[in-house]
A and B are shown apart, each in its own frame.
Chain A
Amino acid sequence: MLSQYGTRINKKGFASHIWVEDLVYFDGPLVSLIKESTTQDYLYIFVDSGQLNRWLAVPVERDSLIEYREGGLSLRGVVEKSAAAYFVDIDGDGAHQALYRCEISDIPPAYLPDEDSFFDPSLCPDGNDVLLSPTRYTIYIDGSWFMEDWMKMPKTFTQLYAFIYSLQFLDQKSFYGQVRRIYSSFPWRGGFSAVHFYKSLNRLIPSLHEARVSRIQYSSPGQIDLELLSMVSKRADELVGCTSDNKVEIEQSIREIRKVLKKNKVSQLREEDPIPDLSFDQRKKLANLNSKLIFEMGLGSHQEDIFGLAGNEVRVAKIIISVYRRTEKMNWYISKGLVAR
């Protein structure tokens, strides 16, 4: 392994980077998309190994990723366009051991991908389905908005987008395991789980696919232009519309689910309490009610996935009700004429 390059810096920030998907894979990742926060993706390129594995990590902008995916820019080109370069030394247990920062011009030639390192779907576990380009999507607005509305509506929209996104890309091998971990890991007692459930789902979405504001026109009527995956936002729109159309039936189903949860003392649980074992009959009843609710919300095609991801009936109920609550918030904005359906 080559000796260290650049200036050693605190590794703390990079230790929280989340793996999103592999773009080049053979017996493990070789080039991967990693997410730092809601606005910054990194490409990690495997460059060396010895006692540790060394990765060249470069922050990558949305436009560069799109150009790389469409064949207009090589991996080498992406690196050269980056604002900074980092070398991350990671051990065989996945623990970060050291982090170095260096200038792009100081990257040793032996650590650079070739000039013709263009995106090749045959090297990618998810083939052509990876890194789909975002498209334009408009939210039409009207009426008089308060600051609180500017905060809450986008948050609710983002949460629904993250939920639908999590179900749309389950076919991707790299994505399924991470989504399953999130669906099955929260205790769903108190508000903590709902908040962190959506935050965690959102963190899995590569910045390339997150809703980015391209224009806001605040007038009556006005509009918010976003760049996102329209296949996801369209499904989120359908979900919001369907829950509005079936509101009476959905509210009834939720009341019945709550009765079962209350009877089994699930509703009153604190964060630290374990979910009690439900009898076979109670589980079956809850499963049927969940199924009914999922269909009423227009999510029938995802029923099996939701059941499989959540792992138990109580969790399914809690997740689906929390999704409904978010559609209710969106429908409130629609009913007030602030957002057009």
Chain B
Amino acid sequence: MKYLEYMKDIKDCPPEAALSLTDPVECFRYGKSNVIKPSDFYPPGIENPKRLFSKNSGSKQCSAYALSFFTSYELLCCHYQKLKKNSPGFKRSSVIRVTIENTDGRKTVPSDNGHFDLYESESSDLHAKAEIVGSLC
């Protein structure tokens, strides 16, 4: 697992509910600009600056070391509009599509809004196979 040095002290991390993939899955993620960068695949516990209210508060959560994805382009856009209207600071520019495979790690079951977490394997290189398929405004 990537980021194992951060996750090892967190209980049940990655959670048991995060399972290996049986088949490749096409999924979508927010991009910060119109060019894909390695930092687009940093989990929230790694990116800088982290959104914390006090030392270590949020980085102690297991999901801080997972990547957020949506099962469809439409669900991602719908969720973005909801987030943006509440939080002016949450700004994303593009929609990134990537097909994740068994070797990329373990994923949680998608929630009703299509969101799931991917705990990346050490060898996963999503940046290399990602493409921008739309823009957000």
Contacts and interface: CB of A to CB of B under 8 A. Distances in A.
A114 B80 CA distance: 13
A44 B89 CA distance: 12
Interface string A1-31: 0000000000000000101000010111111
| Most B C-beta atoms less than 10 A away, residue of A91, A92, A116 | A92
A278 interface: no
A76 to B, nearest CB: 9
Contacts of B79: 26
Given A116-B85, A120-B82, A122-B82, A90 B53 contact: yes
A24 B113 CA distance: 14
A202 interface: no
B83 A92 contact: no
A93 B45 CA distance: 11
Nearest to A23: B86
A17 B53 contact: yes
B90 A26 contact: yes
A32 interface: yes
Given A30-B87, A47-B88, A47-B89, A122 B112 contact: yes
Contacts of A30: 51, 83, 86-87, 89-90
B129 interface: no
Given A44-B53, A92-B52, A110 B82 contact: no
Contacts of B88: 45-48, 110-113
A48 B83 contact: no
B83 A24 contact: yes
B93 to A, nearest CB: 14
A53 interface: yes
A46 B50 CA distance: 12
Contacts of A120: 82, 86
Contacts of A203: none
Interface string A95-128: 1000000000000001111101100101100000
Contact of A49 (B44, B55, B83, B89): B89
A90 B53 CA distance: 7
A102 to B, nearest CB: 15
B27 to A, nearest CB: 15
Interface in A27-43: 27-32, 34
A45 B113 CA distance: 22
Interface in A66-108: 75, 90-95
Contacts of A28: 44, 50-52, 58, 64
Interface in B17-73: 43-44, 48-58, 60, 64, 68
Nearest to A114: B85
Nearest to B80: A26
A52 interface: yes
A51 interface: yes
B51 A29 contact: yes
| Most B C-beta atoms less than 10 A away, residue of A46, A51, A110 | A46
A113 B85 contact: yes
A45 B49 contact: no
12 contacts: A26-B79, A28-B44, A28-B58, A29-B53, A30-B86, A32-B53, A44-B53, A94-B53, A94-B57, A113-B88, A114-B84, A123-B86
A-B interface, 9 closest residue pairs, ranked by CB to CB distance from nearest: A92-B49, A28-B51, A114-B85, A94-B52, A30-B87, A46-B89, A27-B44, A94-B54, A19-B53
Interface of A: 17, 19, 24, 26-32, 34, 44-49, 51-54, 75, 90-95, 110-114, 116-117, 120, 122-123, 177
Given A46-B87, A177-B60, 15 more contacts: A17-B53, A24-B87, A28-B51, A28-B64, A30-B51, A30-B83, A30-B86, A30-B87, A53-B51, A54-B89, A90-B49, A94-B55, A113-B85, A113-B87, A123-B83
